[in-house]
Structure 1
Amino acid sequence: MLEMTDVTKTYRVGGQTVRALDGITLSLCGGEFVSVVGPSGAGKSTLLHLLGALDRPDAGSIRFQGAEIAALDDEAQSEFRRHSVGFVFQFFNLLPTMTAWENVAVPKLLDGSRMAKVKSRALDLLAVVGLGDRAEHRPSELSGGQMQRVAVARALMMDPPLILADEPTGNLDTKTGAAIMALLTDIAHQDERSVVMVTHNLGAASATDRVITLTDGRIGSDVLAGGELT
């Protein structure tokens, strides 16, 4: 589904050049829940941004379903993000004045759909993530775990083949975090989506199908759930 070949990304920080990613090559498949771990500064967030077309590599290739993402112009990259990628963030990023179902509907609204036409799908997705009875609640009336479930439902609104999660359990207690991990696993396995999660939580990472470790912008290890190197 998604292939990175010899991808490099550098930044200028304080007059110095920092190589965030240094020749990354990897492939990701549908139906696979992959975690990316490593110390701060290892390149995890940069990797996620490149996969989601939020940034461009300095060199190398990123191909999604056969198309070169890095070669897309700004408008085409925006279209790619809107239709092919669902984002889940650590801090939920829900709109406080909107109800749960309205927050889920936001991607469709930004794509030009009318609220009345997307409500049914938003309600269905809330039911999928176990929040069918919280559709009319605003974020302030929801727990952290419930807000993250709303965020996951929102990420699914456009039915994207790729889900990118940035520390999705970072603000949750252990039990709630485990429930979110189970939900993301189901999304990958049942719907044949590719789910990529960046995390510092090694316990959460161990629950995924595959763990990629980044060190100084390079892949240190790439291990399947059974312990086999890919």
Structure 2
Amino acid sequence: MPRPTSNENDATSLKCARVRYAIRSAVLAAVLADPEGVDALLDLTDEELGRRFKERLWEVAGLVTVFNIDLPAMRAEEEKLRKRVKSSSGHRPGATKGAAARSKRYQLLSEGAILREEDFIRASRITKKALDKDVASGRVFQVKLRSKPYYPAFFLSNMVDRKALASVVRRLRDTDGWSKWDFFTTPSESLGGSTPLRLLRVNELKSVLKAAEYFAKN
């Protein structure tokens, strides 16, 4: 059996560090927010607690994308971890733009901004057949990493009207998945420096549809 390489060991160590830090932060937040409520959490089974935590995590990840919150910038510890990611992934000053883009996309996965298909299905409480139908009809879009489909967590957010979001996705027509992601999450001068997601949150559908139409043609 081949031994793990140094990079693989670094990646595993980094993942463990992320998990420990995330769990420690979540536990501290729970205790500070509602000390008495912690007893209720301890009464839950491990399976139930894990399920509820993941569901809420997916929901919040969607909100983070909607509000365009830069979570790494909010934590000095996270910044250190990001530097380790960059180091362990082998990126150097001479790295290509394509490699940098892939690194950024994998970071979205680690932050929960995009979800694996099975996780998205579980969080949205639908079947794979229903999800495939939503994708085919243009209500939802997917992005690809190493040919595998992933889905934006913002589709799970209750802060954005689902029908309005679907109408914008359809207006983008056959634009590829990552371009759609960029459209929804990138601040635009034509939208007053806001992202389409943030405007959809305040029901500014008309201006977002107009921007989507222009984006799809250029």
TM above 0.5, yes or no, is: no
* Greater share of residues in helix: 2
Based on CA coordinates, which of the two structures has the bigger radius of gyration?
Answer: 2
TM-score by length of 1: 0.26
- Larger RCO (CA within 8 A; separation ≥ 6): 1
